[in-house]
Amino acid sequence: MTLMLLDSASLWYRAYYGMPDTLLAPDGTPVNAIRGYLDMTARLISIYKPNRLVACLDGDWRPTWRVELFPDYKANRLDEDGDEEEEPDTLTPQIPVLLDLLDLFGIQVVGVDDFEADDVMATYAEVEKGPIRIVTGDRDLFQMVDDKRDIKVVYLAKGISQHDLVDLKYVSDKYQIPGERYALFATFRGDPSDGLPGVRGIGEKGAALIANNFASVEDALAGAHADHESLPAALAKKIIAGSDYLKIAPTVVHVARNVSLPTVDLSMPKAPTDLSAIYQFKERYGLGASVDRLISALGW
């Protein structure tokens, strides 16, 4: 009864950089990201055998409510004019083609205005029954890991063949913290990829010490003010100095778990009576065995 949540942008970027750029449609359109996405999805379905599947998208990669709280959120990804850095020229035209193909397969694609794909996946993980497997290359979703509800992250940093299946023990072993406190740890440490600085002067070791001794930002601040025995004086001083940042950081760092999701059928797509439209699409874009692999993985 597994629900698989795909961080689609994470998958197509990894596919784009992991597959040869010589993969082209008959008309010369690049298809390496499309083929890689299909191959990865087919492989993941074969491994985890979900009975529910959703491909999740960013409704907005810089949600206004996060940027209003912290204007530098993902500002490191903006160009000199303040616009989003352009996708590679040969990736951009592939995305609508891929989405059209997912539609032909009947795979649900969900994005919600003013929320990131992370928020969509987190909300599905919050409201749906487990087991749940969140497929992403983003560590932010580590905060959703829950052994009791069997929520795990299929972490793609090493690729599909060597991916990690992240549970609480994985988080604990990797960061030397209680596994359920990843968000607290990330709040103090920061995340350069999202333009989040963390608390000034506090790195991974300091953040881990805090996460090992306190359950929340409020507890850590109270401990710093009270000269808690677990906090060296210098670290306590940094926590107090970061009070303003700590007022807004948890809201920015924590994934939203209350997104208003559309009502869609999450069950695995059933085989259409006629596959000709998919085969025509396959021929038009030269998608070869990648389409066949997904058809096979779906059991059609």
What are the tens digits of pLDDT across the range 96-122?
999 999 999 999 999 999 999 999 999
pLDDT confidence of residue 251: 96
For the chain, percent of residues with pLDDT exceeding 90: 90
* Residue-wise pLDDT tens digits, 231-254: 999 999 999 999 999 999 999 999
SS3 content of the chain, % helix, strand, coil (to 5): 50, 10, 40
| pLDDT bracket for residue 83 (50, 70, 90) | low
Q: Which two tokens stand for residue 112?
A: 């919600």
195 and 74 Cβ atoms separated by less than 8 Å: yes
Of 24-33, 53-62, 84-93, the poorest mean pLDDT is in 84-93
- CA of 24: how far to CAs of 203, 247, 287, in Å? 44, 49, 9
What is the rounded average pLDDT of the residues 160-171? Answer: 93
What is the rounded average pLDDT of the residues 27-33? Answer: 96
Find the angle CA(132)-CA(135)-CA(138) to the nearest 5 degrees.
Answer: 120
pLDDT confidence of residue 160: 76
pLDDT confidence of residue 192: 87
| pLDDT bracket for residue 4 (50, 70, 90) | very high
Entry pTM: 0.94
**E strand or H helix at 136, and its extent?**
strand 132-136
The yes/no answer on whether domain 179-253 falls in CATH 1.10.3210 is no
pLDDT confidence of residue 82: 59
Alpha carbons 50 and 230: distance in angstroms, whole number: 44
Domain extents in the chain: 3-177+256-297, 179-253
* Residue-wise pLDDT tens digits, 166-215: 999 999 999 999 999 999 999 999 998 888 999 999 999 999 999 999 99
> At residue 186, what are phi and psi to the nearest 5 degrees?
-70, -30
Alpha carbons 217 and 248: distance in angstroms, whole number: 11
Three-state secondary structure call for residue 251:
helix
Q: Please determine, for residue 162, whether its predicted confidence score (pLDDT) is greater than 90.
A: no
Q: Which CATH superfamily, name and number, covers 3-177+256-297?
A: 5'-nuclease (3.40.50.1010)
Rg of the chain, C-alpha, whole Å: 21
**E strand or H helix at 134, and its extent?**
strand 132-136
pLDDT confidence of residue 177: 98
For the chain, first and last CA: distance in Å? 19
Three-state secondary structure call for residue 6:
strand
| pLDDT bracket for residue 84 (50, 70, 90) | low
Which residues touch 88 (CB under 8 Å, ≥6 apart)?
A: 16
What is residue 194's DSSP assignment? G
Average pLDDT, the chain: 95
